[in-house]
Structure 1
Amino acid sequence: MFTGIVETLGVIKKITHDKTNVNLYIQSVFTHELKIDQSVAHNGVCLTVVAIDGDIYKVTAIKETIDVTTIGFWNEGDVVNLERGMPMNARLDGHIVQGHVDETAEIIKIEEVGGSTYFSFMYSDKAKHVTIDKGSITVDGTSLTVVNSGVNTFSVAIIPYTLENTLFKTYNLGTKVNLEFDVIGKYVTKLMQIGK
């Protein structure tokens, strides 16, 4: 369980393949605090630490995870948003995030407005997921509030601090990102579909 509050950025130092699995070797400032079997969110993707060597730890992504996330596009040297699992005695500063990416989206518009940067996203029109104005969304592991919700589109407003301390500072038109929709909204949507 996560909050969507990015702790730090990590660097992908090495990528190896084992059949359909992808092994990622990540360098981070908190590697020395990790333990084997801990969960870490990487651009919103929950992956389990399987090995630690100095300031680099290893995680493995299976084919199912690769198919629904942006992991297949990651390269050695890329930077990723990192968040460790939420301690149960801490404040929930973002929202409830599971680290289970629902699908990817593409940035279709970037606009500076009054000191904030607005990013607009488009996701599959075949998706059963929805956003609502003032609802929660997780973009590459960052907990955000939806400011404009449309049919398979939404926008978020990024304050300068978030822009500087997450991957948002690297995004361009066409950048693909991981989305995790609000877990409560997903349950409501499913119940509505069952009731039809």
Structure 2
Amino acid sequence: LSDVKLGDSIATNGVCLTVVELMSDGYVADISAETVNLTGFSHYQVGKAVNLEKAVTPTTRLGGHMVSGHVDGIAHVDDRQFRGQAIEFWLTPPVELGRYIAHKGSITIDGVSLTVNEVQGHRFRLTIVPHTAGETTLVDLKAGDNVNIEVDLIARHLERLMSYGTQEQES
């Protein structure tokens, strides 16, 4: 945290939070009711491990897809299986978010940018490779857990753009 300043954004399990106080071993951020309602934060206990990522700068490599830190909802982990050294998860998001999840598309789970490997209805499958498992909290997920999800930013904006004229005509 040596280069973090007050007002910086840090994604915490995928949730973009603004640093309002710095400590030697952490930071404090305010959380709105909207954040509590759309994320798993209300169920977190002191000491829970989380994924942290500082905001991307214009000179930073983008090693995944565009992630805003604006969580869309909570998905349920239905199943966890080992496939060789990888971990395979099946998840169920809220029904209204299913339309944004595409085979080989991008999704963010607890702040980790991932590729969707299969879609069945609105359920989807992810495969977590050993490196990702070792560097994130995804290795600790089990069936029955809930995770923060952010759907593909481009898909969300494209839908809005395509429906804009239609909504104007219906009003």
TM-score, reference length from structure 1: 0.80
Q: How does 1:1-196 map to 2 (within 5 A)?
A: 31-127=1-97, 129-194=99-164, 195=166
Residue 56 of structure 1 deviates from its aligned partner by 2.2
- 8 Å contact from structure 1 (residues 129, 189) kept in 2: no
- 8 Å contact from structure 1 (residues 32, 55) kept in 2: no
Code of the residue aligned with 1:35 in structure 2: it is: K
- 8 Å contact from structure 2 (residues 78, 144) kept in 1: yes
Code of the residue aligned with 2:68 in structure 1: it is: Q
| Partners of 1:67 and 1:129 in 2: CA distance | 21
The SS at the match of 1:87 is: coil
Gaps of 5+ in 1: 1-30
Residue 127 of structure 1 deviates from its aligned partner by 3.7
Code of the residue aligned with 1:63 in structure 2: it is: A
| Partners of 1:135 and 1:126 in 2: CA distance | 17
Residue 130 of structure 1 deviates from its aligned partner by 2.0
More helix as a share of residues? 2
Code of the residue aligned with 1:67 in structure 2: it is: N
User: For 1:56-113, what per-residue CA distance to the aligned partner results, in whole angstroms no more than 9, with x for missing partners?
Assistant: 2111111011100011111111111000000111221111100000010010011212
- 8 Å contact from structure 1 (residues 125, 151) kept in 2: no
User: For 1:118-168, what per-residue CA distance to the aligned partner results, in whole angstroms no more than 9, with x for missing partners?
Assistant: 111001224464211110000000000000013221111100111111111
The SS at the match of 1:79 is: coil
The SS at the match of 1:177 is: strand
| Partners of 2:58 and 2:162 in 1: CA distance | 31
- 8 Å contact from structure 2 (residues 98, 122) kept in 1: no
- 8 Å contact from structure 2 (residues 71, 150) kept in 1: yes
CA RMSD of aligned residues (A): 1.6
- 8 Å contact from structure 2 (residues 77, 91) kept in 1: yes
| Partners of 1:192 and 1:131 in 2: CA distance | 17
Gaps of 5+ in 2: none
Code of the residue aligned with 2:155 in structure 1: it is: G
The SS at the match of 1:80 is: coil
TM-score, reference length from structure 2: 0.91
Code of the residue aligned with 2:159 in structure 1: it is: T
More strand as a share of residues? 1
